[in-house]
């Protein structure tokens, strides 16, 4: 017998042996409302089901600020019922992106200075080049855009000064510079330079410390998670993608420190996908995150799986977030680090199609795989096996990186 939830949120008793799960999903730095994740899940779950031989039916779940959906899944071995909720912070992302052109260039200077002066950039380069190049990408592109705009303005101003006076050419040059920069900003939905600059600036704005508004949101998430842990479920699964991975780490550390687990509570599991933890944990004022990493890595109260891929240039593929931060102790047991192995799990046709779409590759963890191995996002989040049971016999992927390049706990 288990509690089922209709699309209106009403509860009912159903006789079944279905596995019961609640999934709390934390997105990365994303200004788009959470409905995109429901539609992505619907489309990709159907595709993965056709490939892997199972069926996932979706209905609407929570509404308003608490956004989610419900899944009823039929797998060859059994059935499962899962309820999803997106822990939203897109409003904080939107607020942080309300910088004009001048404000974005000011962010460029302050963010670059934070990473360079603190030594974080050099530490990051000891790990993987891909995410470091991705971090440098918006800086280089925005500086090139500024150079093009200044060049266009200088040519226009010089041309006008040849047929008129120099003081008329100067304001025209400034107008041209501004128009060109505005044009580039309008094209950012294809270039992503402004978006990525805002992303890195948000992480670096307090030199790694969470801003007060984010701490307040984490406190709300913690209250929600504690309520869920009191429900009659088999598993509570917290999923964090990209920047959401380190928020999920701090969230679970907060809850497990403050609340002693009961013997009858659901199994608690953490799934981090495509993490960028070092971008935050290597900064000088990230003591809170570093302490959370160290504490959670030793906790017997959860199962933590970290999934990444060397082919994802936007994440620190196969980098153990605890070890590379320099906070791994002798009692470290988490996370289990495995590779999504895009070159093996995606067909050559799919890899060719995604080759130059690096941002889409960063979301592949949430999508269907042509040849899934043990990592199947939909089987994990909607299937009849808990995360701990599914990966109980799994070892770390051979390419796991444990270089202690970060600042550690003492600094």
Q: Are 35 and 69 in contact (CB under 8 A)?
A: no
Query: Cα separation of 312 and 306, whole Å?
Result: 14
- 133: pLDDT strictly greater than 70: yes
Q: What is the mean pLDDT of residues 325-352?
A: 96
Q: What is the mean pLDDT of residues 11-36?
A: 81
Share of the chain above pLDDT 70, in %: 93
Give, in order, the Cα–Cα distances in Å from 52 to each of 40, 115, 320, 369: 18, 44, 29, 9
Q: How confident is the model at residue 62 (pLDDT cuts 50, 70, 90)?
A: low
Q: Are 371 and 346 in contact (CB under 8 A)?
A: yes
Q: How confident is the model at residue 283 (pLDDT cuts 50, 70, 90)?
A: very high
**Burial of residue 245, with CB atoms counted within 10 A of its CB: 0-12 exposed, 13-18 middle, 19 or more buried:** buried
**3-12, 247-256, 390-399 — which is least confidently predicted?**
3-12
Longest dimension (CA), the chain: 87
Q: How would DSSP label each residue in 70-101?
A: EEEEE-SS-EEEEEEEE---HHHHHHHT---H
Residue, of 130 and 145, whose pLDDT is higher? 145
Query: Which domains are assigned to the chain?
Result: 16-92+206-390 (3.40.50), 100-203 (no CATH)
Tens digit of pLDDT for each residue in 168-224?
778 888 999 999 999 999 999 888 999 999 999 999 999 999 999 999 999 999 999
Torsion angle of the four alpha carbons 233, 18, 74, 368, in this order, in degrees rounded to the nearest 10: 20
Query: Cα separation of 38 and 221, whole Å?
Result: 19
- Distance from first CA to last CA of the chain, Å, rounded? 51
Q: What is the pLDDT of residue 63?
A: 58
Q: How would DSSP label each residue in 146-179?
A: HHHHHHHHHHHHHHHHHHS-HHHHHHHHHHHHHH
Q: What is the pLDDT of residue 5?
A: 31
Residue, of 44 and 35, whose pLDDT is higher? 44
| Closest alpha carbon to 283 in 215, 209, 346 | 209
**Burial of residue 150, with CB atoms counted within 10 A of its CB: 0-12 exposed, 13-18 middle, 19 or more buried:** middle
Give, in order, the Cα–Cα distances in Å from 383 to each of 48, 236, 267, 319: 12, 13, 15, 27
Residue, of 33 and 364, whose pLDDT is higher? 364
Q: What is the pLDDT of residue 152?
A: 93
- 372: pLDDT strictly greater than 70: yes
- 12: pLDDT strictly greater than 80: no
Q: What is the pLDDT of residue 171?
A: 83
Query: Cα separation of 12 and 5, whole Å?
Result: 7
Peptide bond into 335 cis (omega under 30): yes
Q: Are 319 and 278 in contact (CB under 8 A)?
A: yes
Query: How many other C-beta atoms can be found within 10 angstroms of the C-beta atom of residue 274?
Result: 28
Buried/exposed 369-403: b ≥16 CB within 10 Å, e otherwise: beebeebbbbbbbbbbbbbbebbeeeeebeebbee
Tens digit of pLDDT for each residue in 376-389?
999 999 999 999 99
Give the H or E element holding residue 135.
helix 129-163
- 13: pLDDT strictly greater than 70: no
- 39: pLDDT strictly greater than 50: yes
Q: What is the pLDDT of residue 362?
A: 95
Q: What is the pLDDT of residue 166?
A: 59
Q: What is the mean pLDDT of residues 20-36?
A: 94
> What sections of 242-368 are H helices per DSSP?
243-258, 277-281, 287-296, 321-325, 342-345, 348-354, 358-362
């Amino acid at each position: 017998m288990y509690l089922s939830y209709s699309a209106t949120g009403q509860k009912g008793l159903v006789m079944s042996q279905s596995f019961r799960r609640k999934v709390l999903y934390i997105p990365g730095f994303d200004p788009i409302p959470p409905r995109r994740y429901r539609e992505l899940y619907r489309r990709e779950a159907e595709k993965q089901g056709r490939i892997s031989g199972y069926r996932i039916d979706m209905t609407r779940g929570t509404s308003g600020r608490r956004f989610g959906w419900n899944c009823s899944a039929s797998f060859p071995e059994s059935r499962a019922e899962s309820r999803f909720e997106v822990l939203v912070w897109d409003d904080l992302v939107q607020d942080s992106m309300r910088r004009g052109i001048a404000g974005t260039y000011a962010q460029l200077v302050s963010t670059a200075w934070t990473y360079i002066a603190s030594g974080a950039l050099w530490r990051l380069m000891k790990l993987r080049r891909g995410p470091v190049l991705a971090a440098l990408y918006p800086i280089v592109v925005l500086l090139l855009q500024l150079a093009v705009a200044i060049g266009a303005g200088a040519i226009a101003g010089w041309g006008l000064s040849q047929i008129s006076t120099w003081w008329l050419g100067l304001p025209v040059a400034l107008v041209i510079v501004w128009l060109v920069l505005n044009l580039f900003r309008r094209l950012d939905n294809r270039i992503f330079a402004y978006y990525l600059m805002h992303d890195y600036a948000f992480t670096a704005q307090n030199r790694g410390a969470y801003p007060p508004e984010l701490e307040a949101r984490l406190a709300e998430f913690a209250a929600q998670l504690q309520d869920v842990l009191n429900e009659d479920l088999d598993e509570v699964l917290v999923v964090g993608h990209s920047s959401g991975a380190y928020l999920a780490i701090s969230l679970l550390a907060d809850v497990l420190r403050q609340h002693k687990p009961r013997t009858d509570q659901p199994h608690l599991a953490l799934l981090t996908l495509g993490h960028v933890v070092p971008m935050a944990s290597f900064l000088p004022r990230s003591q809170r995150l570093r302490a959370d990493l160290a504490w959670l890595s030793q906790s017997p109260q959860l199962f933590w799986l970290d999934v990444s891929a060397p082919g994802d240039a936007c994440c620190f593929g196969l980098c153990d977030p605890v070890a590379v931060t320099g906070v791994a102790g002798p009692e470290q047991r988490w996370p289990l680090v495995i590779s999504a192995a895009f070159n093996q799990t995606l067909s050559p046709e799919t890899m060719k199609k995604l080759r130059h779409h690096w941002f889409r590759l960063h979301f592949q963890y949430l999508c269907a795989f042509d040849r899934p191995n043990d990592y199947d996002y939909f089987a994990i989040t909607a299937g009849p096996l808990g995360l701990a049971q599914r990966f109980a016999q799994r070892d770390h992927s051979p390419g796991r990186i444990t270089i202690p390049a970060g600042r550690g706990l003492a600094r």
